[in-house]
Amino acid sequence: MNKEGLRKLTYGVYIINTINSGCIVNTLTQVTSDRVIVAINKENYTNQMIKKHKKFNATVLTQNTDMKVIQTFGFTSSKDTDKYENFNTEIDNSGIKYIKDHMASLIECEIENEIDLDTHTIFIAKVINTKNLSDEEVMTYDYYHKVKNGVTPPKAPTYEKSKIGYRCPICGYVYEGDTLPDDYICPICGAPASIFEKIE
Ligand SMILES: Cc1cc2nc3c(=O)[nH]c(=O)nc-3n(C[C@H](O)[C@H](O)[C@H](O)COP(=O)(O)O)c2cc1C
């Protein structure tokens, strides 16, 4: 299938926070006046935690969000790290932590339903409260790629495999080219060239 047409879809960038877990997503969408949906990979710890606790909050990233936030929440797992420990956090009305600095808003949600899509679960959630956190410009997915030079990890629904290059096994970053320099360091997670995998 030619997937080129899908690249023209637009998205924002968000953190989905639940109890003891949180991850970056681009798939959060408002679908009715008080409902949102989000697609979360079943291998992400946040998926299990949402299923368990039946609630989450979402924060909307701004263009000023530190890339450290995206590295932590988009490229590591809450299963073995406390992702919140190095950031200023607040707690919402449902007892869920969130990062407040350089976020545009907070959206608190309760799970109403879910749909199984093999690799991902679509959570359908009722919005129970929202709060404005700043008036900074929101970060679009396009801005994340073009201005922040961000990459998309394998578990994101929009991930696409490159044909020629080397992939970082830690964060999924792809170096495009025939030869990977020996002293190359992954620009996202700092992994050395020696562990990059050639894309066949
Ligand atoms: C820009 C960007 C967009 C992403 N979008 C999604 C998404 O929509 N759904 C998803 O399941 N994972 C998405 N991810 C990947 C998760 O954030 C990532 O797998 C994370 O490490 C999961 O953490 P957890 O195991 O603590 O839940 C995205 C990552 C980035 C950087």
E strand intervals along the chain: 14-18, 21-25, 29-32, 35-41, 55-61, 89-91, 97-99, 103-117, 120-132, 165-167, 174-175, 197-199
* Residue of 11, 44, 78, 96 to test ligand 1 pocket, by largest number of atoms within 8 Å of CB: 44
Say if residues 61 and 107 touch (Cβ distance below 8 Å): no
Mean pLDDT of 158-181: 80
**CB of 70 closer than 6 A to ligand 1?**
yes
Cα 49 to averaged position of ligand 1 atoms, centre (Å) = 14
The pLDDT of residue 60:
98
Cα 32 to averaged position of ligand 1 atoms, centre (Å) = 24
Assess whether pLDDT exceeds 90 at residue 177: no
Q: Are residues 102 and 182 in the same domain?
A: no
Mean pLDDT of 165-170: 85
Helix, coil or strand: residue 38: strand
**Assigned domain for 168 exists:** yes
Q: Are residues 79 and 128 in the same domain?
A: yes
**Assigned domain for 167 exists:** yes
**Assigned domain for 199 exists:** yes
**Assigned domain for 61 exists:** yes
- Nearest ligand 1 atom to the CA of 13 is 1
Cα 112 to averaged position of ligand 1 atoms, centre (Å) = 22
Residue 187, domain CATH: 2.20.28.10
Question: Residue whose CA is closest, atom 7 of ligand 1?
Answer: 25
Q: Are residues 106 and 198 in the same domain?
A: no
Cα 52 to averaged position of ligand 1 atoms, centre (Å) = 18
Q: Are residues 96 and 173 in the same domain?
A: no
The pLDDT of residue 162:
63
**Assigned domain for 24 exists:** yes
Structural domain for 29, as ranges: 11-146
Cα 149 to averaged position of ligand 1 atoms, centre (Å) = 17
The pLDDT of residue 120:
97
Mean pLDDT of 180-186: 89
Assess whether pLDDT exceeds 80 at residue 16: yes
Residue 63 burial (CB count, 10 A): 16
Share of the chain above pLDDT 90, in %: 68
Q: Are residues 127 and 181 in the same domain?
A: no
Q: Are residues 101 and 183 in the same domain?
A: no
The pLDDT of residue 43:
96
Tally of structural domains, the chain:
2
Q: Are residues 188 and 89 in the same domain?
A: no
Q: Are residues 45 and 131 in the same domain?
A: yes
**CB of 18 closer than 6 A to ligand 1?**
no
Cα 23 to averaged position of ligand 1 atoms, centre (Å) = 5
Q: Are residues 139 and 183 in the same domain?
A: no
- Beta-ladder partners of 125: 36, 111
**Assigned domain for 153 exists:** no
**CB of 50 closer than 6 A to ligand 1?**
no
Q: Are residues 61 and 138 in the same domain?
A: yes
Q: Are residues 30 and 115 in the same domain?
A: yes
Strand order in the sheet with 120-132: 21-25, 14-18, 55-61, 103-117, 120-132, 35-41, 29-32
The pLDDT of residue 163:
65
Secondary structure (H, E, C), 116-155: EECCEEEEEEEEEEEEECCCCCECEHHHHHHCCCCCCCCC
User: Mean pLDDT across the chain, nearest whole number?
Assistant: 92
Cα–Cα distance for residue pair 53/30, rounded to 1 Å? 21
